[in-house]
Amino acid sequence: MKAFVINRYSKKEPMRLDDVPEPKLRDDQVLIEVHAAGINLLDSKIKSGEFKLILPYAMPLILGHDVAGVVTRIGSRVRQFNVGDEVYARPADHRIGSFAQFIAVNEGDIALKPKNISMEEAASIPLVGLTAWQALVERAHLNKGDRVFIQAGSGGVGTFAIQLAKHIGATVATTTSGANASLVKSLGADTVIDYKKDDFEKMLQNYDVVLNSQNAEALKKSLLVLKPGGSLISISGPPDPAFAQAIGAPAFVRFIVRLLSAGIRRKASARGLNYSFLFMRAEGQQLREITRLIEAGAIRPVVDRVFAFESTNEALAYVESGRAKGKVVVKVK
């Protein structure tokens, strides 16, 4: 099969389109013929080696964290899916590889594709949808009437998180450029701040939750937005000790992680706030909940561009540029 492969960590070296063997199918996996694959900044960060300390990969490696396609084979212990099912998934860490014609995915990480959207739209959902769900529902326990500040509202996570928060009944503030203000308002944002003109920490007060996806400076400023007891959840770091423990990191990595997050944890504690780092995980049951919301019309995919499979490197470069509104997808079949 055709796949985009890297042989070493590198920021500048492009992925190589190559002929590779089809993945071997385990008893608890399904083989998916990939119709579309979502592009995420996480792919770029793994490619450059940014996560090699906490998430090391063997080489050669096929990247790709979002998949939509059709089941072509099932393992002997698979019970929830059949050949011919249209499905989508965020493959588990160390099981990624959707920049390919086929991928083997654990049964527990898969859900049936929403019936009312295309394969390309479905491929845009899993990673950002699960990130938003695990941040707002699982971690923050967001409730009706809560106030949440979602940074970068026109990005992949932002466009989904705004819709999810509004479905829950929360009041939503977000940042974006003036050019994208109408987009985030159409998704339900109540307060839209032009990050090029205004400082969000001067405009927002007494929020219950902040979903941080930006740099260290924005992370520190986010503390000023929250009311006592509020939650600052970051998907862009720094990782915290709870994360290191959850992934079973060795002692020296746990020590480094503790140092990296010591400053922000100390500042949060001094203000009576909760800081946590979220590295989303594959989760088929949560994806099935998301499917129901999409089929009910509560959430719609936001896709900026669809690239041809042969242009996967160009698609990744476009995501890296930071110009995408919503998600970028490659059409494989």
18: phi then psi, degrees, rounded to nearest 5: -140, 165
Handedness of CA 248, 10, 154, 232 (dihedral sign): positive
Mean predicted confidence (pLDDT) in 300-305: 98
Q: What is the CATH number of the domain that holds 224?
A: 3.40.50.720
Would you say residue 53 has pLDDT above 90?
no
- The pLDDT-based confidence of 132 (bands split at 50, 70, 90) is very high
Provide the number of structural domains found in the chain: 2
- Regarding pTM above 0.85, the answer is yes
| pLDDT of amino acid 286 | 98
- The pLDDT-based confidence of 230 (bands split at 50, 70, 90) is very high
Q: Provide the domain limits for residue 121.
A: 2-125+301-331
- List, for residues 75-89, the tens digit of each pLDDT value: 999 999 999 999 999
> Does residue 311 share a domain with residue 228?
no
Residue 317, Ramachandran bin (φ over 0: left; ψ between -120 and 50: alpha; else beta): alpha
| pLDDT of amino acid 275 | 98
| pLDDT of amino acid 59 | 96
Q: Which residues contact 29 (CB under 8 A, 6 or more apart)?
A: 74, 75, 78, 104, 105, 106, 107
Q: What is the H or E stretch that residue 80 is in?
A: none
Q: Is residue 283 part of a domain?
A: no
> Does residue 116 share a domain with residue 131?
no
Would you say residue 54 has pLDDT above 90?
no
| pLDDT of amino acid 27 | 98
- The pLDDT-based confidence of 148 (bands split at 50, 70, 90) is very high
